[in-house]
Amino acid sequence: MRKVLAISLTTLIIFVLLVGVSELPRFGDIDNPANNYVSQRYLEKGVEDTGALNIVTAIILEYRAFDTFVEAVVLFSAVICVIVVLGKNKI
């Protein structure tokens, strides 16, 4: 019963991911929303919005700060999990 449930759940997840990927716009298409206004806004209003003179610093620390923080939390959690798993054999 567990194997059937696991296979069904895995198949459902794969199906949902494939449907989601098929709905994405073509990579590099000039009509993509990200190519239309986001980068233009960052370049034009970056210094005014953030006060940072370096546009890379402005994007990472101001516009994408929450995303960068979550990435750091995920990496930290992965390191802690590896330490716990590898340290378990020493007990």
**Pairwise CA distance, residues 65 & 49, whole Å:** 14
Q: How confident is the model at residue 44 (pLDDT cuts 50, 70, 90)?
A: confident
Q: What is the pLDDT of residue 6?
A: 93
The domain ranges of the chain are 2-90
Nearest in space to 59 (alpha carbons), one of 71, 44, 72, 46: 46
**Mean pLDDT along residues 10-23:** 94
Is 0.75 surpassed by the pTM of this model? no
Do 60 and 68 form a contact (C-beta atoms < 8 A)?
yes
| Cβ-based neighbour number of residue 70 at 10 Å | 10
**Mean pLDDT along residues 34-63:** 80
**Pairwise CA distance, residues 50 & 54, whole Å:** 10
Do 64 and 47 form a contact (C-beta atoms < 8 A)?
no
